[in-house]
Amino acid sequence: MNKPWMVLLQKLKPSKEANPGRLPLIQDPGDRVFSVIIGSASAFVIVLLSAFVLLLFYDALESIERFGFSFFTGSDWNPVETELNPIRFGALPFIFGTIVTSVGALILATPLAIGSALFIVEYAPLWLGKIVSFIIELLVAIPSVAYGIWGLFVLVPFMRSTVEPALQTILEPIPILGALVEGPPIGQDLLTGSVILAIMILPTILSVSREILKNVPRLQKEGMLALGATKWEVLTGAVLPYARGGIVGGAMLGLARAIGETMAVTMVIGNSTTKISPSLLTPGYTIASAIANQFTEADSSIYFSAIVELGLLLLVVASAFNILAHFLTQYILKGGDARHA
Amino acid sequence: MRDAELARLKSRKLSAAFFYGLIIIATVLSVSILFIIISHIFVNGFSALNWDFFTQIPKPYGEEGGGIAPAIVGTLIMLLVAALIAIPIGVATAIFIVEYGATKLAAAVRFAVELLAELPSIVVGIFIWALVVRNLTGYSGLAGSLALAVIMIPIIARSVEEILKLVPDSLREAALALGTPRWKVVLFIVIPTVLPGLLTSIMLSVARAAGETAPLLLTSLGNSFFNFDLRRPMAAMPLQIYSYAISPYDDWHTKAWGATLLLIALVGIMSGGVKYFTRRWNHESH
């Protein structure tokens, strides 16, 4: 009985309240159901993120209340009560290790990433650039634990036998830099941690820098070339100043990754001392490696709470850097109207 | 005068060539890292691979042989369960962001996805430990699956969002103009056009989760026997690699390399194979 056109006619029949010139909306009950399902799944993501922060904060509360700010400034990490040392948790050595390895990684990775990005965008023919960026970006796909095992059995011995002694002979005579390489080369130390992190964040910085460099307005480059500038002068005069903010954003993103990276660092950094020294050749901890190493050992509630506070710190810092990086790169990419000029 | 200018030009050209050289060196170095790492994994891992490696449970130290079969099984089970949880939520989130994207809520969801995607994975481990392991199950395969799901959700949501954005609005508008309800437009018009891309992003997220170690350390713990029960600790390949690698025994080191090779192969097949498959599919449907 119900022929399609009749249904249509019914749906299109103007209701009495409606504005006569306007057709009523076609209401489908499925729409309501669908939007509720989709909406609740999305709301779940927000709930999940809030639950992260709240639960970690709740579990860290005991440690936060007991140690307050001294958690970040103290350098004693005594989970076990002895006569000489009361239980105390100061995360400064872990924070120090995290900062040293992440900044070290950034210093090592950024020039490589920018160099490769310049090669891909400015020098290489299209096909070669594609291959190069594909290969470097494959580094992202390698699992962290694979970097860890490679670091442990290949990089650590290599650093111990070759790189670190060489650095010592070069840097030792120089007054301040000499302190960076003091002590016996062990291999499992902050420097090796930086190197492995540098490899892991290289593709991140590279892909952001590449996108930013691609967005540099052509006219600027052509203008400089027309004035007789060399390729390098074009890069330093027109390309890099334009891309600076975006590259800094990419570096931030790399930094956020480096701060949160756990397994690879845990396997090469030594995890044996909490002493803060200027030498990069001392074994240390990062915040993440301390969590991975000590989480299952936490036998008292205050110990557990202190470790969760480390996790909370990691979460806050990584998110902050991400937000910063996000704004920096978005600002550059969206401000690219000049691209069409 | 002319000589001075020529000399200056020469030095400018020299410095351009010099920095070009530096850029080449940086590129060669960056590219070679991958080959160095992969070749080490291949050379060291290949000798560990034999029939027992894939089928036997780990032997206690001192006995020759044994394999990592429980870890392979555990990884596959946990990935499957994690994918079953993460796919609907991730895809629905992406649909919400793209198809219902004009609202403030959608912007908030997008922001939350961004932040979740970049969370350090060890923090995910702590979270699932506090939420699931502590009160509900103890160290268990289920907790491990949930941790992996939390890692997969934002990855799926982000990449599916990018894919959905590629669907031209004219397609949606044409369908809506014919009176098609919105949910039908999404499910039967938008999604089918991007199905290959959708599968690719799901597989990529699975590949990424396959290598995660830190969260599993705090949730599924590891197990040296076969375990198909999600309520009990479960072995996983990354965990096996970690515990073997930091052990002092040479035989276990070899097995760790073998497991790494297997893991890399698994990740590679999942990310590469699906791309190949979807490309062919795209090709045939045109």
Domain limits, chain B: 2-46, 66-241+270-285
Residues A268-297: tens digit of each pLDDT: 998 876 678 888 888 888 999 999 988 888
Model pLDDT, residue A339: 40
Question: Is pLDDT above 70 for B286?
Answer: no
Classify the C-alpha dihedral B227-B233-B237-B240 as positive or negative: negative
- Which are the contacts of A127, defined by CB distance < 8 A and separation ≥ 6? none
Single out the residue of B219, B217, B122 nearest to residue A314, CA to CA. B122
Rounded CA gap, B267 and A169, in Å? Answer: 42
Model pLDDT, residue A12: 57
Question: Is pLDDT above 50 for B158?
Answer: yes
Contact A143 B13 (CB under 8 A): no
Within 193-232 of B, beta carbons closer than 8 Å to A belong to 207-208, 210-214, 217-218, 221
Domain limits, chain A: 88-335
A142 contacts chain B (CB < 8 A)? yes
Residues A119-140: tens digit of each pLDDT: 999 999 999 999 999 999 899 9
Query: What does pTM read for this prediction?
Result: 0.90
Name which CATH class applies to A88-335.
Answer: mainly alpha
Q: Which one of A34, A45, A122 would you mutate to disrupt binding with B, by most B Cβ within 10 Å of its Cβ? A: A45
- A 10 A CB-CB count for B1 gives 5
A35, B100 Cβ separation under 8 angstroms: yes
Residues B171-192: tens digit of each pLDDT: 988 998 888 888 889 999 999 9
Question: Is pLDDT above 70 for A45?
Answer: yes
Model pLDDT, residue A24: 56
Would you say the ipTM is above 0.95? Answer: no
Within 59-118 of B, beta carbons closer than 8 Å to A belong to 88-89, 92-93, 95-97, 99-100, 105-106, 108-109, 112-116, 118
Rounded CA gap, A133 and A205, in Å? Answer: 12
Model pLDDT, residue B258: 93
A36-50, A133-147, A168-182, A228-242: range with lowest mean pLDDT: A168-182
Q: Does domain B66-241+270-285 have CATH number 1.10.3720.10?
A: yes
